[in-house]
Every structure is written in structure tokens, then in C-alpha cells.
Amino acid sequence: MIFGPSGSAIQADNIDKMAANEDFSTYVLAFHTPLKDLENQPDAWFDFSSAAGALTMCDHMLGRLGNDITMAMNRGIPGITDSQRSSDFKACVEEKGNWTTVYEHYGAHQRKGGFEGTLLILQAYPEAAIIDDANTAMAMGSTDPQVAVGKEKEVFSTGWGGTGLELDLIRREELDATPMRMGDDVGAATAEAIKADLEGRADELPLVFLGRITVAHDEMRAEEMTPWNRKRSASPARAR
């Protein structure tokens, strides 16, 4: 049973009941924090860590831009995901690089939210050298007003997730960097977990598997990003 719940706390009872069934193994996708109150833990959790991605992005940005930078942010919706993506990133660059955050706009992970937040930032906080966007939609909305007023080369813009849309923005020189979830990692890991279970090696599996997050950015050669954004053929996918 591969279970991708809409909310792990809401589905806790279902996860618990399935994990108690010895007739099959239970894997949970898209959540990486095991629920402590479960009487029966599933066999494995597979996901990406937004907190780990924030620290990866922090290291990249400090190495790229250095210290004493002024930043503004288009955040998502208050909660654990935004806390990890935005708050953890902000805390890291402020502590390690002495960055200053002049404004934080909550754009609800919507393109309109990124657009409105960036309009306000460009008008009221022109000293912001960086606009950090907490997801793809807000990054797309954020680049529109920058391009409209010719500021896309002056402002360093970041996204989150590394979707094909964000890679296209990087190619067009409208977005500068994004932490990219390496989707093949979770797919291949799930397949390997099933194989290990069928071969009687389930005890070798970790309880939590986290896929890699790497940074895609504007200094990469086009061919470096092409394999990440290439359309899949109709042939069966192979785990690398």
C-alpha cells in the first residue's frame, strides 16, 4: 500500500490501521515526519525536506552574493511548510551573512500574491536587492512586474521547487536561482523499497527517506538544466 495523504494528522487513524495490517507493507509519500502518536508506524516515509532545502539555498546564496545583503520575501501561507522554506532560510542568511529583511509579504502561494507583493516591494522597498519567493506560482507572479519595469536584471529573484516553469524563467534570465527537488530520488527509492520488501530485506530500509535538493541557477550552462526539464518518452522509466 502506497499512501499519499492530503494531511498526515487528518489521516493518522487510516495510516495507523493500515500499518497494523501484516498482509502488506505501508509507505507514506509526501510527508517525512513520523507521527509520534501512532501505535503502528508505517514501513517507510518518503519525501523532500523544505528545511533541508532552505539550508541548501542559504549556503548557495551566501556563496554567491556574500554578506550584508538587503532582502524582501514573498511568503506562502503561515504553517510548517512556509516556516521551513521562508523562516529557516531567513534565519540562516541573517545569522551567517548578516542579511537584513526589510519586508515579508504573504502571497498565499498564488501567482497573484507574488505579483502584488513584488509591486509593493519595488515601490516601497527599492533597497531590496533580493526577492525570495516561497513557491513556483509566486515566483512567476514576481517576475512579471520586474520585467514590466525593467528591473529583472537589477533584482536577484529566487523561487522554490525547481519546476519546469522555473527552469524556463531561469533560461529567460528572469529568475536567478531555485532549490530544486530531484524527483527521481523519491520514485527510485520507493521502487527499491518495494524490491527490498519482496526480497525479504525490509529490515534494511530506513524509516525516513529524503530526496536530494540541489540549486538550479542562472550561471548553469543550458545543457546542465536540459536533462531536468526534458519531456519523458513513452518508454518505461529506469531508476538511475
Mean pLDDT of 99-111: 97
pLDDT at 240: 27
pLDDT-based confidence at residue 239 (cuts at 50, 70, 90):
very low
pLDDT at 81: 87
pLDDT at 221: 81
Is residue 54 domain-shared with residue 171, that is, in the same domain? yes
Average pLDDT, the chain: 89
Residue 188's domain spans which residues?
Answer: 2-47+182-212
Is residue 40 domain-shared with residue 127, that is, in the same domain? no
Residue 230 domain-assigned?
Answer: no
Is residue 60 domain-shared with residue 176, that is, in the same domain? yes
Q: How far apart are CA 174 and CA 66, in angstroms?
A: 21
Is residue 192 domain-shared with residue 111, that is, in the same domain? no
Is residue 26 domain-shared with residue 81, that is, in the same domain? no
CATH of residue 168: 3.40.50.2300
Is residue 163 domain-shared with residue 131, that is, in the same domain? yes
pLDDT at 125: 98
Is residue 146 domain-shared with residue 163, that is, in the same domain? yes
Domains in the chain: how many in total? 2
Tens digits of residue pLDDT in 58-94: 999 999 999 999 999 999 999 888 999 999 999 999 9
Is residue 67 domain-shared with residue 93, that is, in the same domain? yes
Is residue 69 domain-shared with residue 17, that is, in the same domain? no
Residue 138 domain-assigned?
Answer: yes
Q: Which of 60, 56, 13, 50 is nearest to 30 (CA)?
A: 50
Residue at a domain's end among 132, 158, 180: 180
pTM over 0.75: yes
Is residue 91 domain-shared with residue 199, that is, in the same domain? no
